[in-house]
Every structure is written in C-alpha cells, then in structure tokens.
Amino acid sequence: MTTVFITGCAGFIGYHLAEHLLKQGHKVIGMDNLNSYYDVRLKLDRLDNIRSSGEFTFYVGDITDANLLDRIFTEHKPEIVVNLAAQAGIRYSLENPMAYIQSNVVGFSCVLESCRRHPVQHLVYASSSSVYGNNAEVPLSLNATTDQPISLYAATKKANELMAFTYSHLYDIPTTGLRFFTVYGPWGRPDMAPLLFTRAIMEGKPINVFNFGQMKRDFTYVDDIVDGIHKVMSNAPISPIEPLDAASLRPARHRLYNIGNNEPVTLMRFISVLEDCLGKKAEVRLLPAQPGDVLETHADISDIQRDFEFSPSVSIEAGLSRMVEWYRDYKKYSKTDI
C-alpha cells in the first residue's frame, strides 16, 4: 500500500484519481481549499463519494499554507505527491489574475518546498496544453516552443514546469509534469464547455460558440487521464547517465509528458455528438474568439505511449454518452447549480 497525497482532491481530476487509488488499495491523503470558483456543493458531493471508497484523510486548506503542508508531510509521510490544486480557467484569469499567481505559483512553490524538506519518491504535477499557445505545428510535440503563452493561466503552468525542473536539478527531487488536454467526463467542471453546453441544451437556452466554431480540441475522457496519472506516478524518473548540459552540477530527475486522446475533434462535431446524446438540438450563437483562446489542440502522446504504454480508449461518442447519463442522474437528487 502506497500513501499518496493529492492536492485539489475535491476537484474534477483529483476526485477521480483519489477514488481510483482508494479502490486499488492505496492510502490517500487529500487537501482542497473548497473555493467558490464554482458551486462548492459539487465538490462536497465528490468528497462524500471519496470517503466511502477506502482509507482517506481529508484536510481543508490551501497549498499556500506552508505550515499546514508541513504538518501533513510530517504526520503522514506521503511517498507520492500529486499536485492538482490550481486556480483553473483561462478566461477567469482576465478578471482575477492575482488568484492565479497566488495559487499556481506561490502555492506550487510551497508544495516543492515541502517535497524538499520531506523527501518523496515522486512528485507529479498538473501542467496544461495551454502552454503551447497558438503553436501552428500540430500535433503538439514536447519539442515545440512553449515560450509564448497567450493567457496568464498558461504562463503560470509554464512557470510550474520551470520551477519543478529547478528543484529536481538542485535537490534531486523526482518530478513529472503532465500537460493535460481538455479533460471531460462525469463530475466535471461546470465552467467548461461539455457541462455548460449540456445544461444549456437541456434547458433550451442558446450556447455561445466562440471563434464562430472554428476550433479543434483534443477532448480526453477523465478515466483515460486517471489511468495515465496512475502509470506515471508509480514510475519516478531516474537520473540520466549524463547531465543535461555541461554546466549542470547534477542530472535533473524531471520529465514532461503530453496526456491527451490524440484524436482532436472540431467544436461543431463535438456539439453534434452531444446533441445526439441528449436527443435535442442546440441553439448555437456564433461569436468571435475571446482573448486567451487557443485555436487548436492535438496531443503528440508518443512519449507517454513509449514509456508507460498509455493508450486512451474512450471515444468522444462513448465519453459524452457517459457524461450525459451521469448529469441526468445527478440533477435528479442534487441541488447543485450546474
């Protein structure tokens, strides 16, 4: 049994990962600040499910609270840390930029410091496909440039990658960053298109489709994401034989991977599949692109396939069908505003 510390465990991906690991027999320590970025009741309902799944200990708190992190690391001695806590959302970063600096930069630095003071076997952290910006070369390869982010959210995720590399280089902390590509599924975030569109279509309200629908996304079902995280977290990067460059004092035990479906779909096809699942047509309102919107994402997943035999298996048709089925059931008993 492995003790895994998951930050952001009441969030969408954190919830699914915690439930999966508990069912596999691992001990999970969870932490979440339960902020009001979207309806807290959804997060509390996720936590109720996690608590019934296995040996789970939960802390309400923020990753910027260095004293609380130190207490958790001292008491529970996690072997693996998965940092999923972050201020999410690209458009919200235009309204409240300091929330991103505080959570995604200051908070992540506190997590890194805790891993330095309390050595762990592996730190896995969430990055994002948004670091690629509007890179025209698709599929998006790990070798592509990521020095021109077009949103503050993307900039903070790129900062996380640089910070993790530095801590790996200086303190020999094994770290792996995962660039997630548009994750969707049951218990998803209500601020993202899959659930925003689902709710609007069911209620007969128009949906806003930006850039006049001319966008592609590498939609990735959450179970495939969790499978990838689990495979990666169990295999910490080992030191290369040689330093990464002549100036390095030691090799850096740091890796990056894209984790996506590798089959992007146009936004209009996504809407069409969702209409089929709901049995109802959408009223589409075509609008110009918004600041920070990436036009196309398509993950080159050859590295994670090679190293971990990662193979996403859920099609957009199957994934949206499962999401809609969950949403209908959830709305029957929950008062959550999603």
Q: Are strands 3-7 and 27-32 parallel, antiparallel or unpaired?
A: parallel
- DSSP label of 213: G
Q: Please, are residues 42 and 12 in contact by the beta-carbon 8 Å criterion?
A: no
220's CB contacts (< 8 A; 6+ apart) are 180, 181, 182, 183, 184, 259, 260, 261, 299, 312
Lookup result for tokens 């910027």? 64
Residues in the chain: 338
Structure tokens at 182: 């548009």
Summarize the confidence of residues 19-30 as an average pLDDT. Answer: 97
Indicate the range of 103-112, 209-218, 228-237 predicted with least confidence: 209-218
Lookup result for tokens 């600041």? 291
Give the per-residue pLDDT at 249. Answer: 54
Spell out the CATH class of 3-333: alpha beta
**With 90 as the cut, is the pLDDT of residue 338 above it?**
no
pLDDT digits (tens, 9 = 90+) for 25-53: 999 999 999 999 999 999 999 999 999 88
Structure tokens at 219: 């939609």
Q: Please, are residues 180 and 128 in contact by the beta-carbon 8 Å criterion?
A: yes
298 burial via Cβ count (<10 Å: 0-12, 13-18, 19+): buried
Measured CA to CA, the distance from residue 206 to residue 151 in angstroms comes to: 26
Q: Are strands 3-7 and 80-83 parallel, antiparallel or unpaired?
A: parallel
**With 80 as the cut, is the pLDDT of residue 242 above it?**
no
Q: Please, are residues 186 and 15 in contact by the beta-carbon 8 Å criterion?
A: no
203 burial via Cβ count (<10 Å: 0-12, 13-18, 19+): exposed
**With 50 as the cut, is the pLDDT of residue 286 above it?**
yes
pTM above 0.85, yes or no: yes
pLDDT band of residue 241 (cuts 50, 70, 90) is very low
Q: Please, are residues 140 and 297 in contact by the beta-carbon 8 Å criterion?
A: yes
Structure tokens at 133: 């910006």
Summarize the confidence of residues 107-124 as an average pLDDT. Answer: 98
The radius of gyration computed from the CA coordinates of the chain, to the nearest angstrom, equals 19
pLDDT digits (tens, 9 = 90+) for 129-181: 999 998 768 899 999 999 999 999 999 999 999 999 999 999 999 999 999 99
Q: Which helix (H) or strand (E) holds 50?
A: helix 40-51
Among all residues, which ones are annotated catalytic?
A: 153
